[in-house]
A and B are shown apart, each in its own frame.
Chain A
Amino acid sequence: MKKLLLSLAAVATLSVTAFAANTQTGCGLGGQVIKSPNSAVMFALQATTNGTSGNQTFGITSGTSGCTKAKLVMNERASEFVASNMDILAKEISVGHGESLDTLAELLKVEDKAMFTASLQANYNKIYSSQSVEMADVLDNISATAL
Chain B
Amino acid sequence: MVQLLLHTFLQGSPINLSKIIFFILFNTLVLSASVQTYKNRANELKLHEKHYWQLLLHMNDGVSEIDDKNFFLSQTGATDAKSELEATLEAFFSGTTLDSNSTVCKFPARYRWLKEQLHARDFPVGECIEYDKIFKRVDPVSTTLVFPSAHINSPASMFGHTFLRINSSYHSKLLSYAINYAANANTETENGVVFAIKGLVGGYFGKYSLLPYYEKLKEYRDSEQRDIWEYDLNLSQEETIRMFEHIWELNGTYSDYFFFTENCSYNMLWLLEIARPTLHLRDGFNYQVLPLETVFETENQELIISKGYRPSKRTKLLKYESLLNSNNLHYPVDIVDNNFNVKEVINSKEIEHEQKKYILESAIEYLEYRFTKAKVSKENYLLLFHTLTSQRAKLGSAKPLQIETPQNPLSSHRSIRFQAGVGLNEGESIAYLGIRPTYHDLEDSHYGFLRGTQIEFLNLLLSQTKTKSKVEKATIVSIVSLAQRSTFFKSFSWRTKMGWENNSIDDATAFSASVGAGYSWGNEFAYIYFLIDPIFYVKDGFMGAIGGSVGLNIDKYSFMQTNLEATHRFYDNGVEQTLLFASQGFRTSQNTQLVLKYDYKDKYIISKKVSQERFQLMFKYFY
Contact = CB atoms under 8 A, between A and B. Distances in A.
| Binding partners A and B | yes
Interface of A: 2-4, 6-21, 23, 29-30, 32-36, 42-60, 77, 81, 84-85, 87-88, 90-91, 93-100, 102-103, 106-107, 118, 121-122, 124-125, 128, 130-132
Contacts of B182: 50-52, 56
A144 to B, nearest CB: 17
B196 A16 contact: yes
A132 B183 CA distance: 35
Given A4-B201, A34-B371, A51-B180, A17 B210 contact: no
Contact of B371 (A32, A81, A84, A122): A32
Nearest to A97: B400
A35 B224 contact: yes
Contacts of A59: 209-212, 215
25 contacts: A3-B261, A13-B496, A15-B193, A18-B191, A20-B374, A21-B187, A29-B382, A30-B371, A32-B222, A32-B368, A32-B372, A34-B371, A47-B155, A47-B157, A49-B264, A50-B181, A52-B183, A53-B219, A58-B252, A59-B211, A60-B138, A121-B393, A125-B393, A128-B390, A131-B386
B175 interface: yes
Contact of B251 (A13, A23, A58): A58
Contact of A52 (B138, B159, B187): B187
B183 A49 contact: yes
Contacts of A21: 186-188
A20 B188 contact: yes
A48 B226 CA distance: 11
A106 B214 contact: no
Contacts of B207: 56
Contacts of B455: 13
A15 B263 CA distance: 16
A128 to B, nearest CB: 7
A16 B392 CA distance: 38
B374 A36 contact: yes
B393 A58 contact: no
B623 interface: no
A8 B258 CA distance: 12
Contacts of A122: 393
Interface of B: 133-134, 137-138, 148, 151, 153-157, 159, 161, 170-172, 174-175, 177, 180-193, 195-197, 199-201, 207-212, 214-216, 218-220, 222-224, 251-252, 258-261, 263-264, 287-288, 357, 361, 364, 368, 371-374, 378, 381-383, 385-386, 388-390, 392-394, 396-398, 400, 455, 457-458, 476-477, 479, 494, 496, 498, 517
Contacts of B161: 48-51
Contacts of A34: 223, 371-374
Contacts of B219: 33, 51, 53
A106 B171 contact: yes
A58 B130 CA distance: 12
Contacts of B381: 30
A117 B218 CA distance: 22
Nearest to B158: A47
Contact of A11 (B151, B184, B200): B200
A46 B151 CA distance: 10
Contacts of B259: 7, 10, 14, 49
A57 B184 CA distance: 10
Nearest to B156: A47
Nearest to B136: A60
A54 B288 CA distance: 25
B192 A95 contact: no
A31 to B, nearest CB: 9
Contacts of B390: 94, 124-125, 128
B373 A36 contact: yes
B200 A81 contact: no
Given A36-B373, A48-B224, A58-B210, A93 B393 contact: yes
B133, B161, B385 interface centre (most CB from chain A within 10 Å): B385
Given A11-B197, A14-B156, A48-B154, A35 B223 contact: yes
A15 B155 CA distance: 12
Given A32-B218, A51-B180, A81-B175, A56 B208 contact: yes
A49 B156 contact: yes
B153 A124 contact: no
Contacts of A55: 209, 211
A121 B397 CA distance: 8
- 7 shortest A-B CB distances, which residue pairs? A47-B156, A124-B393, A96-B397, A7-B200, A15-B192, A36-B374, A131-B382
Contacts of B134: 58, 60
B201 A51 contact: no
Contact of B188 (A19, A33, A87, A100): A19
Nearest to B226: A48
A103 B172 contact: yes
A42 B156 CA distance: 13
Contacts of A17: 187, 192
A71 B286 CA distance: 57
B457 A9 contact: yes
Contacts of A121: 393, 396-397
A9 B201 contact: no
Given A14-B259, A29-B385, A52 B184 contact: yes
Contacts of A84: 212, 214-215, 218
Contacts of B400: 97-98
B209 A3 contact: no
A6 B172 contact: no
A8 to B, nearest CB: 8
A139 B50 CA distance: 53
A106 B364 CA distance: 25
Contacts of B496: 13
A90 to B, nearest CB: 5
B570 to A, nearest CB: 24
Nearest to B491: A43
B382 A33 contact: no
Contacts of A60: 133-134, 137-138, 177, 210
A134 B592 CA distance: 55
